[in-house]
Structure 1
Amino acid sequence: MSTPTPTYVFKKVGDLPIKADIYLPSSPTALPAPILVWWHGAGLIQSLRAWNVPHLIRAVDKYGLAVVGLDYRLAPQASLPEILEDMRDGVKWVREELPRLLGPRKVDPTRLATSGYSAGGYLCLLSGLPISGITPPPKVLLPIYPITNPLGPFFVTPQRPVKFSQDGYIFTDEDMKVHRDPNSTLLSESFEPFVPGKRFPNNSRMNFYTYVVQEGNLAQLLFAKAPGVNPSDYAVAKLVTKDMPPTYIVHGDADQHVGLEQTQMVVNAMIKVGATYKFEQPAGEPHGFDRREEVEMEKMYDFLFEHL
């Protein structure tokens, strides 16, 4: 299985480094490798680039892909427009700087696609649309059970308790005081090791997404530091165009972490404009189903190479 090259810092905001991990095929015959840029999920409010999935790492050697995991500043200490800046700067770095850093003919920046799950799927979709400012756009988009609208029903309807909560605990504003404060320390990665059988403390940032779903306040947090910006302008269904990159979307119908209607709105919009897409809705699959060791996502990779 492929292992990452040394971690790079592709950008700094003040003293905050924003990092990238690169996984390269082990066989030199697979080079120069097309590039798959990957953004992690967790609501744009927690986690980090290393939180990837088995099929993605296996794809490096299985398909001869260079996988690049990019961090970004986390909300609410950064706004969604600022996160898009990091996304734009990250893709620019991958195209312009990474080939020089790795050496001749290691990667092919002209063959670049993007992917990500959940909130990372949201960034993936936005990366192929003019609002991202990424030019040229990626050749293929592979969003996995993506968030697509922070003002969609799933994200504005409080859940008390949250359906996916294991113990039904209602997080208080005091529990999340530090994390929800837009003026708290700016972060580009957030992770706490999981200990089987041990619950995260109530004030842990690992509980932040559950709190967001509980309160129905995702949009408030994503735009807390962007006064005057209308969150509805970042609804993917409003932004899709006929000439957006070919897009493969997969979203299980048993997802309790991101409502299936988030993807359905985008698929309906793509149908309306005549965009090139494929939608898979695996029956009974929950959020995170692709993290299981046996899941290969072969249809997704077939779509990638059909259009890359």
Structure 2
Amino acid sequence: METIYVYKRVGDCEIKGELHPIDEQQAPLLVYIHGGGLIWGTKSDMNKKQIKMYNEAGFNVFSIDYRLAPETKLPGIKEDIEDLLIWLYEKAPFDFDREKIAVVGSSAGGYLALLTGTFTVRPKVIVSLYGYGDVTGDWYQKPSPHYTNMTAVPEMLAKQLIQNEVISSSPIQKRYAIYLYCRQQGKWLDYVAGMETSKLDMYCPIKNIDNDFPETLLLHGDADEDVPYEESVKMKHMLDEANVPNKLITIPGGKHSFDMDMDNQTAVQAIESVITYLQKTLIKE
């Protein structure tokens, strides 16, 4: 039975996680960070079939919210994920093996998962599905050919969707136009970071890899139309340079969010690959 926990409060905003436990003491914990360009998403976005697969493989699953942009900028979002890990290690009131925490994220959640490798308090393993290690790339700062082929979103509509209060959860339907506008205009950093590009190095995992960076699994489709496949290739190269154990699984012809359709055998095999990797690194170490 899933249980909701509040891991942090910011003013009137409660930031929550949803635990899907297994009936086994001191089992490893998989923390899932949803995508959504840091602009939309909820802890309930995690695919239910994936949760079942992870549970059956011996993992507790904790799917989390975090404050969303542009109401909260990148420093605050990073702070939420840092505070989450501290809470898990020091205060979480449920049973799991605190020496065996994996952080898994998709897209922008994959970026945040990689960012945990730069924290003072880090997970044991990181899994990034079509994430990225650099928020300053041209693909995020220039109009996206993929999104400019879609119906143009006027700036006025994007701004109308921004709330007057901090939020930590929102379905895609209420926020997608903000992201679409940002990608069409090359203004994602303007809306999400709120600072000059020259100050963003500390928010780029690829620029902050050290010898203690957690073991990392990268999965990316080589036909990704949103986050370039090259982002994971570059991340692997830098992990190799730092002698950090890692693996890149390329999904031939894989588009963005290739893992979301769990009726597709490619998606099932991708999650099975993640499970195999996590069992090797966390359970059978």
TM-score by length of 2: 0.90
* Residue from 76, 88, 94 that aligns with 2:82: 88
SS at match of 1:287: coil
Contact 1:46 1:208 in 2 (8 A): no
In structure 2, the CA distance between the partners of 1:184 and 1:148, relative to structure 1 (3 Å rule), is: farther
Contact 1:242 1:276 in 2 (8 A): no
Q: Could you tell me which residue of structure 1 aligns to residue 8 of structure 2?
A: 11
Contact 2:20 2:60 in 1 (8 A): yes
Q: Could you tell me which residue of structure 2 aligns to residue 197 of structure 1?
A: none
Query: What is the alpha-carbon distance in structure 1 between the residues aligned to residue 145 and residue 235 of structure 2?
Result: 27
Q: Could you tell me which residue of structure 1 aligns to residue 176 of structure 2?
A: 206
The answer to whether 1:128 aligns with 2:117 is yes
Contact 2:157 2:177 in 1 (8 A): no
* Residue from 213, 224, 243 that aligns with 2:212: 243
Q: Could you tell me which residue of structure 2 aligns to residue 20 of structure 1?
A: 17
Q: Could you tell me which residue of structure 1 aligns to residue 258 of structure 2?
A: 289
Query: What is the alpha-carbon distance in structure 2 between the residues aligned to residue 59 and residue 185 of structure 1?
Result: 37
Mapping of residues 104-115 of structure 1, within 5 Å: 106-115=95-104
The answer to whether 1:157 aligns with 2:142 is yes
Gaps of 5+ in 2: none
Structure 1 vs Structure 2 CA RMSD: 2.1
Q: Could you tell me which residue of structure 1 aligns to residue 199 of structure 2?
A: 230
Contact 1:152 1:262 in 2 (8 A): no
In structure 2, the CA distance between the partners of 1:232 and 1:178, relative to structure 1 (3 Å rule), is: farther
* Residue from 213, 221, 233 that aligns with 1:252: 221
Q: Could you tell me which residue of structure 2 aligns to residue 49 of structure 1?
A: 43
Query: What is the alpha-carbon distance in structure 2 between the residues aligned to residue 300 and residue 111 of structure 1?
Result: 15
Query: What is the alpha-carbon distance in structure 2 between the residues aligned to residue 215 and residue 148 of structure 1?
Result: 22
Shift of 1:55: 4.6
Q: Give the structure with the larger helix fraction.
A: 2
Shift of 1:148: 2.4
SS at match of 2:237: helix
Query: What is the alpha-carbon distance in structure 2 between the residues aligned to residue 40 and residue 96 of structure 1?
Result: 23
Contact 1:44 1:75 in 2 (8 A): yes
Equivalent pairs counted in the alignment come to 277
Contact 1:41 1:119 in 2 (8 A): yes
* Residue from 53, 56, 63 that aligns with 1:62: 56
Which runs of at least 4 in structure 1 moved beyond 3 Å after TM superposition?
Answer: 226-229
- One-letter amino acid of the counterpart of residue 99, structure 2: T
- One-letter amino acid of the counterpart of residue 4, structure 1: E
Query: What is the alpha-carbon distance in structure 2 between the residues aligned to residue 161 and residue 92 of structure 1?
Result: 38
Shift of 1:160: 5.8
Contact 1:54 1:293 in 2 (8 A): no
Identical amino acids, percent of aligned pairs: 29
TM-score by length of 1: 0.83
Q: Could you tell me which residue of structure 1 aligns to residue 70 of structure 2?
A: 76
C-alpha distance after superposition, 1:200-240 (max 9, x if no partner): 6xxx412222222111122222222x579712332222112
SS at match of 1:150: coil
Contact 2:102 2:126 in 1 (8 A): yes
* Residue from 259, 265, 279 that aligns with 1:305: 279
- One-letter amino acid of the counterpart of residue 45, structure 1: I
C-alpha distance after superposition, 1:66-107 (max 9, x if no partner): 111121111121121111111111122222222xx33xxx31
